[in-house]
Amino acid sequence: MSHNHGSRCSGILLHITSLPSKYGVGDFGPSAFEFVDLLKQAHQTLWQILPINPTSFGNSPYSCTSAFAISPLFVSPELMIRDGFLEERDLEVDLEFSPNRVQYTSVLDFKISLLSKSYSRFSRRMDRDEYERFCVANSYWLEDFCLFSVLKKHFGTCSWAEWPEEIKSRKMVAKYIERFVGLIDQEKYFQFILFRQWAELQAYCCSNDVRIFGDVALFVSHDSADVWAHPEFFKLDQALLPVVVAGVPPDYFSETGQRWGNTVFDWDALRANDFRWWLERMKHNLTLFDLVRIDHFRGLLATWEIPASDATAENGHWQECPGIEFFSRLLKEFESLPIVAEDLGIITQDVKDAMTRFGFPGMKLLVFAFDGDPSENPYAPVNHVKNCVLYTGTHDCNTVRGWFEEEVSEEAREKLEEVLGKKVDLNTVAEEMVALAMGSIADTLILPMQDVLGLGSDARMNCPGIAENNWEWRLHHWSTSDVKKLAELTKTYKRD
């Protein structure tokens, strides 16, 4: 980042689902373009989002059925009408959508019904050139994903590991493609529309000097098109079920560790294939985004592998991964790697060395900055470095106001006030933390929208370890005065 731009900058973290819109979820439509205008007015040059792939479990953007596809949630009805893919009357529905929280199930059904209506018109039209070009350019993942999606509906919601042997092990793919050719074509069309709308938003960001900061979840779900299509790249048994699953060992957050349950990569097989699947994945993401955060970055150097039959993460072991070799291979493909390493938690020396070697900035969080001895705490302002991405908090943390109200220790509050040289209260803490972050030597600063607006814990995006009510928060309004205030702050601290 810094090595590409060599300058101080700042941006906002706001997932697309959180944008305002008439149809129950933020999408690639008018409110996204308006948000880019506001970013520009506020002198922000980065827009960070979460993964935009189709989700499979609990609406989490980190649990997806594909590492390549885009979720139909994001399709904009307005843009479909503008481009002639839908008619106004298609939107005359009796659904009442909440402006406050995303109601995933009803919204997804609605978006898919719109896409289906639009497809039945499209399939009667003759001008399919642009669509055909899209299908050819994306065939390396699109064919498998669309067949997978059709089969998921056909066999009910069960995992692909429970499909009939002939298609579970992909012996009869041709037979199923022939049988479902129309439905597969429809799924490809959905992706065509989604990628077309994304490309327009991307171009708009570019013309307004806003860079899009995307996110890659390291692991993929077992029940995904990727694992079904490429079982040889994952540690699976004869029945194509995971032998080991991913997680993290016991630590001070959890005495049994965390068992995430994701399938683990077979890096020997990936290496033997010149890392092709991963190269395609990174190329795909670097086409969609200007900058990419790799979630659980340390998992590229070693993975905590837990026997699949274990209920907790205690009996896992560290398995080394050829991260260095993989990044070197990536560098042959790309002149620069605009990658940010998510390096939160306990990070070993090998991970730090790899980040230094490739110049990947790590992350620093201000909500963690006031615990313990400031000289030892890597997040304390005195320990910030230029080549890092600083946050007040992330999508997994409480908002600054919520943190101050519900989580901050007496000691941490005193340290914060010592650093600021003044007392803070519930109504000023977010503003003070934002200003503190702005003044850091860190080249890049990302502010969650909730902290820019000083919102409380009811605006929190995700509570790790708690299954309900996550990923649902929505932005109402970013007022002109708030936009101006951020613009002035950004100028003051020379981040514009």
CB 224 within 8 A of CB 65: yes
SS (H, E, C) the chain: CHHHHCCCEEEEECCHHHCCCCCCCCCCCHHHHHHHHHHHHCCCCEEECCCCCCECCCCCCCCECCCCCCCHHHCCHHHHHHCCCCCHHHHCCCCCCCCCECCHHHHHHHHHHHHHHHHHHHCCCCCCHHHHHHHHHCHHHHHHHHHHHHHHHHCCCCCHHHCCHHHHCCCCHHHHHHHCHHHHHHHHHHHHHHHHHHHHHHHHHHHCCCEEEEEECCCCCCCCHHHHHCHHHECECCCCCECEEEEECCCCCCCCCEEEEEECECHHHHHHCCCHHHHHHHHHHHHHCCEEEECCHHHHCEEEEEECCCCCCCCCEEEECCHHHHHHHHHHHCCCCCEEECCCCCCCHHHHHHHHHHCCCEEEEHHHCCCCCCCCCCCCHHHCCCCEEEECCCCCCCCHHHHHHHCCCHHHHHHHHHHHCCCCCCCCHHHHHHHHHHCCCCCEEEEEHHHHCCCCHHHCCCCCCCCCCCCCECCCCCCHHHHHHHHHHHHHCCCC
Question: C-alpha 447: how far from its chain's center?
Answer: 16
Q: What are phi and psi of 13, to 5 degrees?
A: -100, 115
| 448-474 average pLDDT score | 94
Q: What is the pLDDT of residue 96?
A: 85
- pLDDT of residue 176 exceeding 60: yes
Angstrom distance (rounded) from CA 213 to CA 293: 7
Closest CA to 278 of 291, 266, 293, 290: 266
Structure tokens at 228: 């079904």
Assess whether 443 carries a catalytic annotation: no
> What's the confidence (pLDDT) of residue 57?
76
Please list the residues that pair with 64 across neighbouring strands: 55
State residue 3's pLDDT score.
42
Give the model's confidence band at 121: pLDDT under 50 very low, under 70 low, under 90 confident, else very high.
Answer: confident
Least confident piece of the model among 90-104, 155-169, 296-310, 323-337 = 90-104
- Judged against a pLDDT cut of 90, whether residue 70 lies above it is answered with yes
Which one from 223, 342, 432, 472 is the annotated catalytic residue? 342
Section 180-195 average pLDDT? 97
Torsion sign over Cα 450, 453, 454, 457: negative
Q: Which whole number is the average pLDDT over 17-45?
A: 97
User: How many Cβ atoms from other residues are within 10 Å of residue 479's Cβ?
Assistant: 11
If pLDDT is split at 50, 70 and 90, which confidence band does 6 have?
low
In this prediction, residue 126 carries a pLDDT of: 67
pLDDT, greater one: 125 or 178: 178
* CATH number, position 398: 3.20.20.80
Q: Please give the average per-residue pLDDT across 83-88, as a whole number.
A: 93
> Is residue 342 flagged as an active site residue?
yes
Q: Active-site residue 295, yes or no?
A: yes
What is the pLDDT averaged over residues 309-320? Answer: 96
Domain interval for residue 317: 2-492
Give per-residue pLDDT as tens, 262-275: 999 999 999 999 99
Mean pLDDT of 13-19: 98
Q: How many domains does the chain have?
A: 1
pLDDT at position 95 is 81
| pLDDT tens readout for residues 404-432 | 999 999 999 999 999 999 999 999 999 99
Return the percentage of the chain with pLDDT > 70, whole number: 99
Higher-confidence residue of 4 and 215: namely: 215
- State the first-to-last Cα distance of the chain, in angstroms, to the nearest integer: 15
Percentage of the chain modeled with pLDDT above 90: 91
- Residue 457 has a pLDDT of 96
**Residue tagged active-site, from 90, 396, 405, 496:** 396
Average pLDDT over residues 185-194: 98
Contact in structure between 260 and 180 (CB atoms under 8 Å): no
pLDDT at 4 (0 to 100): 44
Query: How confident is the model over 226-282, as pLDDT tens digits?
Result: 999 999 999 999 999 999 999 999 987 788 999 999 999 999 999 999 999 999 999
Q: Is the pLDDT of residue 1 over 80?
A: no
Rg (CA), the chain: 23
Average pLDDT, the chain: 95
Residues near 400 by Cβ (< 8 Å), separated by ≥ 6? 366, 367, 392, 393, 429, 430, 433, 434, 450, 451, 454
pTM of the model: 0.96
pLDDT at residue 2 greater than cutoff 50 = no
Which pLDDT score is estimated for 485? 98
Q: For 239, phi and psi rounded to 5 degrees? A: -85, 10
Closest of 495, 395, 380, 425 to residue 14, by C-alpha: 395
Residues 377 and 411: their CA atoms lie apart, in Å, by 14
pLDDT of 5 over the 80 cut: no
Place 7 in a pLDDT band, splitting at 50, 70 and 90: confident
Q: State residue 8's pLDDT score.
A: 96
pLDDT at 345 over 50: yes
User: Which of 70-79, 81-90, 150-159, 345-354 is modeled with the greatest confidence?
Assistant: 70-79
- Token output for 233: 């790249």
> For the segment 39-62, what is each residue's pLDDT rounded down to a tens digit?
999 999 999 999 999 998 789 999
Instruction: Using the predicted structure, report yes or no on whether residue 213 has a pLDDT greater than 60.
Output: yes
The answer for residues whose C-beta is within 8 angstroms of residue 393's C-beta and 6 or more apart is 365, 366, 367, 399, 400, 403, 448, 451
List the one residue out of 290, 296, 288 whose CA is nearest residue 323: 296
